Structure 1
Amino acid sequence: MDAQTRDRFALRANILKAMAHPTRLFIVDALSHHEQCVFKLAELIEADMSTVSRHLKILKEAGVIKDEKQGTLVYYHLNVPCVKFLDCLEMIVRKTVNNTLTLMQ
Structure 2
Amino acid sequence: MSAPLYQMKAEFFKTLGHPARIRVLELLSEREHAVAEMLPEVGIEPAHLSQQLAILRRANLVASRKEGPAVYYALTSPQIAELLRVARTILSGVLAGQQELLASLQSGPHPTQPPA
Same-fold call, TM cutoff 0.5: yes
Structure 2 stretches lacking a partner, 5+ long: 105-116
- The question of whether the paired residues in 2 share the 8 Å contact of 1:36 and 1:77 is answered with yes
Q: CA deviation at 1:81?
A: 2.0
Q: Which residue of 1 aligns with 2:111?
A: none
TM-score, normalised via structure 1 length: 0.87
Q: CA deviation at 1:27?
A: 0.5
Q: Which runs of 4+ in 1 moved over 3 A?
A: none
2:86 matched to 1:93? no
Deviation of the 1:12 alpha carbon? 2.7
Instruction: Provide the C-alpha distance between the structure 1 equivalents of 2:63 and 2:6, rounded to a whole number of angstroms.
Output: 22
Residue 89 (structure 2) pairs with residue 103 (structure 1): no
1:5-84 to 2 correspondences below 5 Å: 6=4, 8-83=5-80, 84=82
SS in 2 for 1:102: helix
Q: Which has the larger radius of gyration?
A: 2
Tell me if the contact between 1:69 and 1:75 (Cα under 8 Å) persists in the aligned partners: yes
Kindly provide the amino acid, as one letter, of the partner of residue 85 in structure 1.
L
Secondary structure at 1:47 match in 2: coil
Q: Separation in 1 of the partners of 2:69 and 2:34?
A: 11
Root mean square deviation, CA, Å: 1.6
State the TM-score, normalizing by the size of structure 2.
0.79
Percent of aligned pairs with the same amino acid: 24
* 1:4 Cα deviation after fit: 5.5
Secondary structure at the aligned position of 2:89 is classed as helix
Moved more, 8-17 or 75-84: 8-17
In structure 2, C-alpha distance between the alignment counterparts of 1:93 and 1:17, rounded to whole Å: 18
**What is the number of residues matched between the two proteins?**
102
Cα deviation, residue 39, structure 1: 1.1
Aligned mates of 2:57, 2:12 — CA distance in 1: 10
